[in-house]
Amino acid sequence: MRFFAPSLYTLRDGTLVCLQGSSAPGREGLRLIFSTDGGQTWIAPAKDHGFLVDNCYGYGPAFEMPDGTLLVADQGTGGHTTEESQQISLRLLCRVRIRADHSGLELLAPSGD
């Protein structure tokens, strides 16, 4: 699995979540994998990529909401040039809920609707 800028979160129920940018050809974007056994194994749709959260640049901080979902934001650009770094902003993408049967994700509106 090829990725960059991973961030690791432990949800209140003990689930480990790794949110990362994917650089795998044809699998670019912000992706997520998760573990329910303390990181011994990871749940993903395939061995070479995580579940797609958004086709954005791939740097996404998140935090757990009171309802157990993750509120995910995205850095609008890579900030690799001076001009890009002067225009970087965070935007709310969505809330993510791991399905109860651990078969994948539910992508929800960021507002809680």
CA 104 to each of CA 46, 79, 112: distance values in angstroms, whole numbers, following the listed order: 11, 31, 19
Q: Could you tell me how far CA 7 lies from the centroid of its own chain?
A: 8
Q: Tell me how far apart the terminal alpha carbons of the chain are, to the nearest angstrom.
A: 33
Domain spans in the chain, listed from the N-terminal domain onward: 3-108
How far apart are the C-alpha atoms of 32 and 26, rounded to whole Å? 16
CA–CA distance, 27 with 64 (Å, rounded to integer): 25
Q: What is the pTM of this model?
A: 0.83
Measured distance CA(68)–CA(63) in Å, rounded: 10
Q: For residue 80, what pLDDT is reported?
A: 66
Per-residue pLDDT tens digits for 76-98: 666 567 776 677 666 667 899 99
* Mean pLDDT, residues 39-53 taken together: 92
pLDDT digits (tens, 9 = 90+) for 16-28: 999 998 877 788 8
